[in-house]
Amino acid sequence: MSKYLTQEWLDETGKMADSQPERPGASARMQYVITGGPEGDIKYYWILENGKILESKLGELPDSDFTMTLTYDDSVKVQKGELGSPSPERRRGAVLGGSRVRTGSRPVRSR
């Protein structure tokens, strides 16, 4: 596996997602901001259409549907499956954006 939060890592994770089933209506333009990493803050984005990653790149997406901001440490925990959706009391990240995110009929899971 390539180094976390590099373009190579984004390319590899995008290829792994290719085998996921299509999810009609699950579409979004998602901006991520990872703060406090070993190499500073990192910005990357995903463009999803019907549950498939169409684009996954380092940088900013000016017309994103929302921005998710996480600390580097929390982002590592999410990648390892050690941190799911935090309760409001534990939340250190932030999600900002409008209501343009489309999730189709897929139910929202709760822990």
Is the separation of the CB atoms in 87 and 50 below 8 Å?
no
Q: What is the mean pLDDT of residues 74-91?
A: 74
Sequence spans of domains, the chain: 7-98
Range in 10-14, 66-70, 87-91, 105-109 the model is least confident about: 105-109
Let me know the angle formed at the C-alpha of 99 by 95 and 101, rounded to the nearest 5 degrees: 80
* Range 34-57 burial, b when 16+ CB lie within 10 A, else e: bbeeeeeebbbbbbbbebbbeebe
CATH architecture under which domain 7-98 falls: 2-Layer Sandwich (3.30)
Tens digits of residue pLDDT in 6-42: 999 999 988 988 898 999 999 999 999 999 999 999 9
Q: How far is the C-alpha of 52 from the C-alpha of 43, rounded, in Å?
A: 20
Tens digits of residue pLDDT in 52-78: 999 999 999 999 999 999 999 999 998
- pTM for the full predicted model: 0.76
